């Protein structure tokens, strides 16, 4: 029975392949494919976030990893062994539930010890492991409390300790911070990240909160309609989105639809109706496609009363002119909406509020020049 307790993940990094490999997994509910032929590799020791709008299939995928749903097709390999046909209790994987699912009839210690008892661990070791877990999540002194005598944050930590107690090869977390208020969420994010690094564990987190995914994850897989749209590091995801949908879903973006007018190596000139020619040197080449969009993040757009003094023919800068229509004050930054000349489009620009009294702030109705670098533009197929 003792072999039901998996060895710590750190020892498993030795072989080269991914720890968890998801191969062409399909899950249908009726006629709807919740997960539609999805493949993904997750490395040992990685903090992986599954991000997506509600109903994109991310929770279904997580439940298939835990064993609560069986895939209709495809394989789920953990250390090269297909775990798809295994029942939840046979998998060296544990899950932290969104509702925490703490056993209300058991104390904090009883909840943490539950999985260890089932694994047939000797009593002495259970006591030690429980004490270790309680210390890990800083719940000393609360061992005998029942879940209903704990605060939300404490309950979250019991759920985490219970899921970690069996030393799972992979820890699955379903919206782990969803039920916490904002301040607590930020500190818990750091704790969770710190814990994962220290224990060298592999985490797979499902979340709909992109800030959470960005802060914590090594890599993010963005799901839409049962498929992975992009798998990348937070920075790549934000700076080099591979599709219009990703660019719009992760963060805020200005999107100009046009046609490729000139292609010169990595340099593009895109003709946007009503706006003119936009220059772009995108990180990714939408090869062979003529109908494209130029995407630029609001914080990469600069505003000034006069256009910058530069060579008019300089192809590395895009200059647009317009009138400030609206200002959204967000504290740390202000979001300006600029109606571009010709009324064909608007442009959003985020400007950091670097001074308390900003004499240079632009009022509504101000004529303004907006400019951004061609290097900051991304060209995406429509």
Partner 1 sequence: MTAAPLARVSRFNIAALALGLAFLYLPIVILVIYSFNASQLVTVWGGWSLRWYVEFFNDRAMLNATFMSLRVAAVSATLATVLGTLAAVALTRGEGFRGRTLFSGMLYAPLVMPEVITGLSLLLLFVALGAERGFWTVTVAHTTLTMCFVTVIVQSRLGALDRGLEEAAMDLGCDPLRAFLSVTLPLIAPAIAAGWMLAFTLSLDDLVIASFTTGPGATTLPIRIYSEVRLGVKPEINAICSLIVGSIAILIVAASMASKLSSGRGGNAAPM
**Which residues of the shown chain bind partner 1 in the complex (CB under 8 A)?**
4, 66-68, 87-89, 93-95, 97-107, 109-110, 113-115, 118-119, 123, 126-127, 130, 143-144, 146, 162-163, 166
- Is the four-CA dihedral 264, 267, 273, 274 of positive or negative sign? negative
- Is the four-CA dihedral 143, 147, 149, 153 of positive or negative sign? positive
* Distance from C-alpha of 291 to C-alpha of 188, rounded to nearest angstrom: 44
Nearer to partner 1, 121 or 295 (CB): 121
Helix %, strand %, coil % of the chain (to 5): 30, 35, 40
Pairing of strands 219-224, 47-51: parallel
Nearer to partner 1, 104 or 288 (CB): 104
Minimum CB separation of residue 52 from partner 1 in Å reads: 21
Nearer to partner 1, 174 or 212 (CB): 174
Minimum CB separation of residue 134 from partner 1 in Å reads: 9
Closest CA to 100 of 163, 149, 182, 146: 163
Nearer to partner 1, 115 or 176 (CB): 115
* Distance from C-alpha of 303 to C-alpha of 335, rounded to nearest angstrom: 11
Burial (CB < 10 A; 0-12, 13-18, 19+), residue 39, is middle
Minimum CB separation of residue 7 from partner 1 in Å reads: 16
Nearer to partner 1, 149 or 353 (CB): 149
Distances (CA, A) of 188 to 17, 98, 207: 31, 15, 14
Pairing of strands 81-82, 73-78: antiparallel
The distance between the two most distant Cα atoms of the chain, rounded to a whole number of Å, is 78
Minimum CB separation of residue 4 from partner 1 in Å reads: 6
Element (H, E) at 134: helix 123-136
Q: Which residues contact 176 (CB under 8 A, 6 or more apart)?
A: 96, 98, 156, 160, 188, 192, 205, 207
Minimum CB separation of residue 222 from partner 1 in Å reads: 26
Nearer to partner 1, 169 or 297 (CB): 169
Distance of CA 150 to the CA centre of its chain: 29
Minimum CB separation of residue 55 from partner 1 in Å reads: 19
Nearer to partner 1, 130 or 377 (CB): 130
Residue 340, beta-bridge partner list: 322
Nearer to partner 1, 94 or 293 (CB): 94
Contact 295, 380 (CB under 8 A): yes
* Distance from C-alpha of 25 to C-alpha of 61, rounded to nearest angstrom: 9
Minimum CB separation of residue 279 from partner 1 in Å reads: 53
Minimum CB separation of residue 97 from partner 1 in Å reads: 5
Nearer to partner 1, 105 or 182 (CB): 105
Minimum CB separation of residue 146 from partner 1 in Å reads: 6
């Amino acid at each position: 029975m003792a072999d039901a307790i998996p060895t710590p993940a750190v020892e498993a990094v030795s072989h080269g392949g991914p720890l968890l490999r998801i191969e062409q997994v399909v899950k249908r509910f009726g006629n709807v494919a919740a997960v539609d032929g999805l493949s993904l590799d997750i490395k040992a020791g990685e903090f992986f976030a599954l991000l997506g709008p509600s109903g994109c299939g991310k929770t279904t995928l997580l439940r298939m990893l835990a064993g609560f749903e069986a895939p209709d097709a495809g394989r789920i390999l953990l250390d090269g062994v297909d775990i798809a046909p295994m029942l939840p209790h046979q998998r060296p994987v544990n899950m932290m539930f969104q509702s925490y699912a703490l056993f209300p009839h058991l104390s904090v210690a009883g909840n943490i010890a539950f999985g260890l008892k089932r694994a047939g661990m000797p009593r002495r070791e259970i006591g030690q492991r429980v004490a270790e877990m309680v210390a890990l999540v800083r719940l000393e002194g609360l061992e005998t409390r029942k879940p209903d005598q704990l605060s939300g944050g404490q309950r979250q930590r019991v759920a985490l300790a219970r899921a970690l107690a069996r030393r799972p090869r992979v820890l699955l977390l379903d919206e782990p911070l969803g039920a916490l208020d904002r301040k607590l969420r930020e500190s818990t994010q750091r704790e969770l990240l710190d814990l994962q690094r220290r224990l060298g564990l592999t985490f797979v987190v499902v979340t709909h909160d992109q800030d959470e995914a960005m802060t914590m994850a090594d890599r993010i897989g963005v799901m839409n309609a049962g498929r992975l749209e992009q798998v990348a590091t937070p920075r790549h995801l934000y700076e080099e989105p591979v599709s219009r949908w990703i660019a719009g879903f992760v963060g805020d973006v200005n999107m100009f639809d046009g046609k490729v007018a000139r292609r010169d190596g990595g340099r593009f000139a895109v003709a946007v109706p009503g706006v003119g020619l936009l220059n772009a040197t995108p990180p990714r080449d939408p090869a062979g496609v003529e109908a494209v969009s130029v995407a630029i993040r609001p914080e990469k757009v600069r505003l000034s009363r006069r256009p910058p003094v530069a060579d008019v023919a300089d192809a590395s800068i895009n200059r647009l002119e317009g009138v400030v229509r609206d200002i959204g004050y967000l504290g740390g930054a202000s979001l300006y909406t600029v109606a571009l000349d010709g009324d064909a489009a608007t442009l959003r620009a985020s400007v950091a509020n670097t001074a308390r009294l900003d004499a240079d702030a632009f009022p509504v109705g101000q004529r303004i020049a907006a400019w951004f670098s061609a290097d900051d533009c991304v060209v995406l197929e429509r």
